[in-house]
Amino acid sequence: MIEVNKDNYEEEVLKSNMPVLVDLWGPKCGPCLALMPQVEELANEFEGKVKFCKLNVADNRKLVISLRVMGVPTFLFYKGGEIVDRLSGADAVPDSIRAKAEKLV
């Protein structure tokens, strides 16, 4: 997974040639930390088809606000530089993440 921040978000996510999933997480977010190993497995599963990135919300507050993210965990799904779907809170479970990633391919 690629760690993104305000400096590389445009290049890695918005200008990506392939679909992108952005995992917004926080270091004090228990559900985020619990999901991370499963999200990393999905990143391996979709390697070469969907780019998986993670964004630490604690270090990138302005970017997170600009993305209209109100809580974590949140997953943003991009295609052609545009957000086409999102998952957050209780809906952010591995099966839902996989299903939405498959729609990107």
Our answer to whether residue 53 is catalytic in this structure is no
Q: Please provide residue 48's backbone torsions phi and psi, each rounded to the nearest 5 degrees.
A: 85, -10
Q: Which two tokens stand for residue 31?
A: 């559900």
* From 29, 36, 63, 83, the catalytic residue: 29
* From 21, 22, 32, 69, the catalytic residue: 32
Our answer to whether residue 29 is catalytic in this structure is yes
Cβ-contact 9, 63 below 8 angstroms: yes
User: From CA 65, how far away is CA 31, in angstroms rounded?
Assistant: 20
By annotation, the residues acting in catalysis are 29, 32
